[in-house]
Amino acid sequence: MTELTIKIAGEAGQGMQTIGSALCRVFKKMGLYIFANQDYMSRVRGGNNFFQLRISDKPIYCPLQKSDIVIALDKKSVGLHQTDIAGNGIMVLDKAEFGIVKESKVFFNVPFHELANKTGGNDIYINTVCCGVIAGLMGLGFEYLEGVVKEAFSGKEEEAIRKNLLAAKSGYDFTKDNFKEDRFKINTVGARETLLMNGNEAIALAAIKAGCKFYSGYPMTPSTSIMDTLAHFAARFNIVVEQAEDEIAAINMIIGASFAGARSMAATSGGGFALMVEGISLAGMTETPIVVVDAQRPAPATGFPTRTEQADLDFLISAGHGEFARVIYSPGTIEEAFYLTIKAFNIAEKYQIPVLIMTDQHLADSLMNITPLDPHKIKAQRFIISRADAKKISGYKRYQLTASGVSPRAIPSWINDVIYADSDEHNEEGHITEDAQMRVNMVEKRFHKKIAGLTQEIEKPVAFNLEKAETVLVGFGSTYGVLKEACERLSNKKFGFVHLPQVWPFPTAELSLLLDGKSNILTVENNAGGQLAKLLMREAGIKVKSSILRYDGRPFNLDYLIGRIKELES
Amino acid sequence: MEINDFKSNDEITWCPGCGDFGILNALKKSLVNLGKEPKDILLVSGIGQAAKLPHYIKSNCFNGLHGRSLPPAIAAKIANRNLSVIVTTGDGDCYGEGGNHFIHNIRRNVDITVIVHNNQIYGLTKGQASPTTDLGYKTKVQVNGVILEPMHALEMAIALGCGFVARGYSANSEHLCWLIGEGIKHKGFSLIEVLQPCVTYNKKNTYEWYTKRIYKTEDDASYNPNDKIAALQKAAEWEERIPIGVIYRNEKDSYEDKSGLAKNIPLVDEEIENIDISEALKEFI
């Protein structure tokens, strides 16, 4: 086989993620390409969650609908996931333990409760037994698993390693003895160096590289692992990670830290972002650079806390009362999330504005083994009055009127003068004013002039096969992968796509050029309103033929999207 | 430094006779006494009459959103601990709109000084009840008199273990100047609530009303501000006699000490153009 999808399903707390992570490490060692996504409920125990792992000998970017191997860790999973087994696939289950007597040609019965108890002494070892089963089904050499088990338990007691190895071997041997086919044998690829990470980790690492020194946030799924990752590295890079009492505090904190001169960021999801909105406006008014991540999840209100959606597009474009410049990036891949986060910090500081990074649960949580990031590709660039130059400043005006709308920004205590920043309308010194002409000058500074500059720095849309394409799919954010694979898979070459890594300022000129003469344009969006389609019309006068919308809280997968495209084309 | 070094050219928009003038003068004097330079002071405020004060002093100023004076203040201090960060806020801004930040920043204990101008009324919105308006006081909104229990902010602060809790009176500038100085010198979150008559909208808590009731805790030799229970009782005194002075002292480690921040170079002094993350990336191999 050239590719394989494995799904591990069970109750929250049964360790699907543990098995999934261990397998990722095995496949990573083999040089295979990995795309792993999680589907989990908003609970710590019970329910039904799954970890889906797609591997291939060629680059892959999205999940598939059906799995070749489904591991059912509990009885409920057997019923829930039977319809998602691929044509040649199987379901691994423990029939005796689940009390299942009926036969099915897709069942591969493994007494994993018995094996776990025999080798490890209790049910905890089921995870390791299952890893052995999968390695056995795929006909892998046991040494891959052995290495990963040893790594995973390094620093733990010898006894734990020994028992886990025994458990893995029992699952492996049982499978070798009882499953004599090689239909899950995957092509090998030469070992290559990759990084295994998800979108949130990429954003956190980029923030470190970009010189973020202060992070504040209130934990909110699916953004929380950005905070976790930064906290993990905070001491090494002299970064302060402060858990706020609420999101209002978080955004006002990052504005204060940034005013003082430290690059600052917050991350949240839609509900938390809603609380931050007045702060976004404050950053616009006081011209304080900040970076805020909205890892979207289905709303309104609490919505589906652990699932995915792209319905905050309209909200983010207009979030914050009044008119001021902002930038919104919408990365489509883990790599793009990394590089755009560094750019976000640079642009925020250069234009003294809020920059928003809009992701979603699908990008935040999906794991890929990417080719190593180049930490030298984009540098952290500073746009402040340096400490050395600060000494020469006198008669400082924080909001000095300039052609670009950007005033030289001093850091408090670095200059001998003082700095006034105000959320009230203010004059060039930063003092409160009621003057009509000054109001006009300041609005033009914060809004028109900055937007004019930002329009020159738009992150270009990514286009694929547009010359030949009769139908063009357009998306933003995490749909990049599924658009790419769908266009490649629909081999008659009449499909192309455009991915927008930046949605504000809207890439009007770029899109007008790219989509010129195309009459069959479809937006692909994880929302119910077709928000991107409306934006295309409003900002660029581009009319789409239709929109493929998914708003059940689940990400697009390749089979699903192709099915929807074919429905429209027929 | 002299008083004139802290002079701002911005026009003052408070009503004549406003208690805020006394606070402004006391703060300026206190900064002179402490030998601070304008460039090393950051005044942070939200919205309200108190929030305008930073414009009337020559110092760095961040005048943010209503109720949100504390979050930017503590974060600016964390970013650059060489700044002396002082918050000028009011009973509406700090106890009403920003109540949650008041609670949690006492817990956080970053080394800032918070001056709450308490005039027991909303001035800027023209005379509605504030969280500290006395029971029964009639306004255009509370037409039958206030029925909500006043917020006992000093007692709350003491209950939360705040390191420095004081009350001043805007008409006693010298005493207030001393209190502010003590607050700034205190390492950690210090709270100074200032009784400040609103000459336009508060017809009950007037200069005359206060002058009859106020006494200094320092005049009572037996009073020990380190005694939490005694401090709670002292802070609760109202109507008959009203204590001003240091109500509670509780020496403890600040956020800077506990977080380890004090050992590192200030965040703003970090050189960020060439941060090497290659070791961090290795954790993902």
Q: What is the pLDDT of residues A332-342, one digit of tens each?
A: 999 999 999 99
A284 lies within 8 A of chain B by CB? no
Assess whether pLDDT exceeds 80 at residue A493.
no
B86 lies within 8 A of chain A by CB? no
Q: Which of A260, A279, A382 is closest, CB to CB, to B80?
A: A260
Q: How confident is the model at residue A157 (pLDDT cuts 50, 70, 90)?
A: confident
Tell me which residue of A50, A113, A39, A40 sits closest to A78, measured CA to CA: A50
A357 lies within 8 A of chain B by CB? no
Domain that holds residue B191: 3-282
* Residue B82 with chain A: CB contacts under 8 Å: 413
Q: What is the pLDDT of residues B108-151, one digit of tens each?
A: 999 999 999 999 999 889 999 999 999 999 999 999 999 999 99
A522 lies within 8 A of chain B by CB? no
Residue-by-residue DSSP string for B21-80: HHHHHHHHHHHHHTT--GGGEEEEE-SSSGGGGGGGBSSEEEE--TT-SHHHHHHHHHH-
Q: How far apart are CA A205 and CA A209, in angstroms?
A: 6
Burial of A142 (0-12, 13-18, 19+ CB in 10 A): middle
Ranges A152-156, A374-378, A497-501, B6-10, most confident: A497-501
CA distance A539 to chain B (A): 32
A299 in a domain, yes or no? yes
Q: How many domains does chain B have?
A: 1
Q: What is the pLDDT of residues A248-263, one digit of tens each?
A: 999 999 999 999 999 9
Q: How many domains does chain A have?
A: 4
A262 lies within 8 A of chain B by CB? yes
A158 in a domain, yes or no? yes
Assess whether pLDDT exceeds 90 at residue A15.
no
CA distance B249 to chain A (A): 25
Considering the domain architecture, whether residues A38 and A159 belong to the same structural domain is answered as yes
A418 lies within 8 A of chain B by CB? yes
What is the percent of chain A with per-residue pLDDT over 90, rounded to a whole number?
Answer: 90
Q: How far apart are CA A105 and CA A83, in angstroms?
A: 13
Q: How confident is the model at residue A40 (pLDDT cuts 50, 70, 90)?
A: confident
Q: How confident is the model at residue B65 (pLDDT cuts 50, 70, 90)?
A: very high
A69 has which bridge partners?
A: A6, A90
Assess whether pLDDT exceeds 80 at residue A123.
yes
With the CA atoms of B92, B93, B96 and B101 taken in that order, what torsion angle do they form, in degrees rounded to the nearest 10? Answer: -160
Assess whether pLDDT exceeds 80 at residue A312.
yes
**Inter-chain residue contact B285 with A193, CB threshold 8 Å:** yes
Considering the domain architecture, whether residues A58 and A172 belong to the same structural domain is answered as yes
- For position A325, which CATH number holds? 3.40.50.970
A191 in a domain, yes or no? no
Q: Which of A213, A256, A423 is closest, CB to CB, to B73?
A: A256
Last residue of a domain, one of A342, A370, A398: A370
Q: Best interface-test mutation with A: which of B277, B278, B279, B282 has the largest number of A CBs within 10 A?
A: B277
- For position A135, which CATH number holds? 3.40.920.10
Q: Best interface-test mutation with A: which of B12, B13, B60, B82 has the largest number of A CBs within 10 A?
A: B60
Radius of gyration of chain A (CA): 26
Considering the domain architecture, whether residues A202 and A310 belong to the same structural domain is answered as yes
**What is the rounded end-to-end Cα distance, in angstroms, of chain B?**
57
CA distance B111 to chain A (A): 15
* Residue B40 with chain A: CB contacts under 8 Å: 413
Identify the pLDDT of residue A151: 85
* Residue A424 with chain B: CB contacts under 8 Å: 63
Assess whether pLDDT exceeds 80 at residue B1.
yes
How far does CA B255 lie from the centroid of its chain?
A: 18
Last residue of a domain, one of A178, A211, A236: A178
A61 in a domain, yes or no? yes
- Strand A33-39 and strand A367-370: the pairing is antiparallel
**Inter-chain residue contact B75 with A210, CB threshold 8 Å:** no
Which residues make Cβ contacts (< 8 Å) with residue A97, sequence separation at least 6? A111, A112, A113, A114
Residue A201 in 3-state DSSP? helix
Q: What is the pLDDT of residues B143-194, one digit of tens each?
A: 999 999 999 999 999 999 999 999 999 999 999 999 999 999 999 999 999 9
B259 lies within 8 A of chain A by CB? yes
- For position B156, which CATH number holds? 3.40.50.970
Q: How far apart are CA A482 and CA A67, in angstroms?
A: 17
Are A59 and A41 in contact by the 8 Å Cβ rule? The answer is: no
Considering the domain architecture, whether residues A435 and A479 belong to the same structural domain is answered as no
Considering the domain architecture, whether residues A450 and A409 belong to the same structural domain is answered as yes
Q: How far apart are CA A364 and CA A334, in angstroms?
A: 9
Identify the pLDDT of residue B57: 97
**What's phi and psi for A365, nearest 5 deg?**
-100, -15
| C-beta neighbour count of A519 within 10 angstroms | 10
Tell me which residue of A304, A393, A299, A376 sits closest to A342, measured CA to CA: A376
Q: How far apart are CA A396 and CA A354, in angstroms?
A: 23
Q: How far apart are CA B224 and CA B218, in angstroms?
A: 9
Domain that holds residue A277: 196-370
Considering the domain architecture, whether residues A108 and A124 belong to the same structural domain is answered as yes
Considering the domain architecture, whether residues A433 and A504 belong to the same structural domain is answered as no
B243 lies within 8 A of chain A by CB? no
Q: How confident is the model at residue A44 (pLDDT cuts 50, 70, 90)?
A: confident
Average pLDDT over residues A97-116: 95
Considering the domain architecture, whether residues A475 and A438 belong to the same structural domain is answered as no
CA distance B7 to chain A (A): 12
Q: How confident is the model at residue A16 (pLDDT cuts 50, 70, 90)?
A: confident
* Residue B100 with chain A: CB contacts under 8 Å: 245-246, 248-249
**Inter-chain residue contact A413 with B60, CB threshold 8 Å:** yes
A210 lies within 8 A of chain B by CB? yes
Q: Please state whether the peptide bond connecting residue A305 to the residue before it is cis, i.e. omega within 30 degrees of 0.
A: no
Calculate helix-pair angle for A270-286, A247-260, nearest 10 degrees.
30
Assess whether pLDDT exceeds 90 at residue B36.
yes
Considering the domain architecture, whether residues A532 and A468 belong to the same structural domain is answered as yes
Identify the pLDDT of residue A140: 92
Assess whether pLDDT exceeds 90 at residue A156.
no
CA distance A193 to chain B (A): 7
Average pLDDT over residues A493-501: 94
Considering the domain architecture, whether residues A329 and A235 belong to the same structural domain is answered as yes
A377 in a domain, yes or no? no
A279-297: b or e for each residue (b if 16 or more CB lie within 10 Å)? bbbbbbbbbbbbbbbbbbb
CA distance B167 to chain A (A): 26
Assess whether pLDDT exceeds 90 at residue A385.
yes
A509 in a domain, yes or no? yes
Identify the pLDDT of residue A129: 95
Identify the pLDDT of residue A491: 73
* Residue B87 with chain A: CB contacts under 8 Å: none
Q: How confident is the model at residue A112 (pLDDT cuts 50, 70, 90)?
A: very high
* Residue B63 with chain A: CB contacts under 8 Å: 420-424, 432
Q: What is the pLDDT of residues B99-108, one digit of tens each?
A: 999 999 999 9
Q: What is the pLDDT of residues A171-230, one digit of tens each?
A: 999 999 999 999 999 988 888 899 999 999 999 999 999 999 999 999 999 999 999 999
Interface of B with A in 93-132 (CB under 8 A): 100-101, 103-104
Identify the pLDDT of residue A259: 98
Identify the pLDDT of residue A1: 80
Q: What is the ipTM of this complex?
A: 0.98
Interface of B with A in 2-61 (CB under 8 A): 10, 38-40, 42, 44, 47, 52, 54-55, 58-61
Assess whether pLDDT exceeds 90 at residue A115.
yes
Identify the pLDDT of residue A501: 98
Considering the domain architecture, whether residues A354 and A218 belong to the same structural domain is answered as yes
Beta-carbon-side half-sphere exposure of residue A15 (alpha carbons within 13 Å)? 14
Q: Which of B63, B70, B281 is closest, CB to CB, to A205?
A: B281
| One-letter-per-residue 3-state SS of B127-146 | CCCCCCCCCCCCCCCCCCCC
Q: How far apart are CA B31 and CA B41, in angstroms?
A: 9
Are A73 and A56 in contact by the 8 Å Cβ rule? The answer is: no
Q: What is the pLDDT of residues A456-478, one digit of tens each?
A: 999 999 999 999 999 999 999 99
Identify the residue whose tokens are 């992701």. A359
Q: What is the pLDDT of residues A514-564, one digit of tens each?
A: 999 999 999 999 999 999 999 999 999 999 999 999 999 999 999 999 999
Q: Best interface-test mutation with B: which of A230, A233, A239, A253 has the largest number of B CBs within 10 A?
A: A253
Last residue of a domain, one of A340, A370, A400: A370
Identify the pLDDT of residue A461: 98
| One-letter-per-residue 3-state SS of A90-143 | EEEECHHHHCCCCCCCCEEECCHHHHHHHHCCCHHHHHHHHHHHHHHHCCCCHH
Q: What is the mean pLDDT of chain B?
A: 96
Considering the domain architecture, whether residues A490 and A538 belong to the same structural domain is answered as yes
Q: Which of B10, B60, B272 is closest, CB to CB, to A380?
A: B272
* Residue B52 with chain A: CB contacts under 8 Å: 432
Average pLDDT over residues A389-414: 96
Identify the pLDDT of residue A492: 73
Q: What is the mean pLDDT of chain A?
A: 95
A183 in a domain, yes or no? no
Identify the pLDDT of residue A249: 98
By CA distance, what is B80's nearest residue in A?
A260
Q: Best interface-test mutation with B: which of A34, A228, A418 has the largest number of B CBs within 10 A?
A: A418
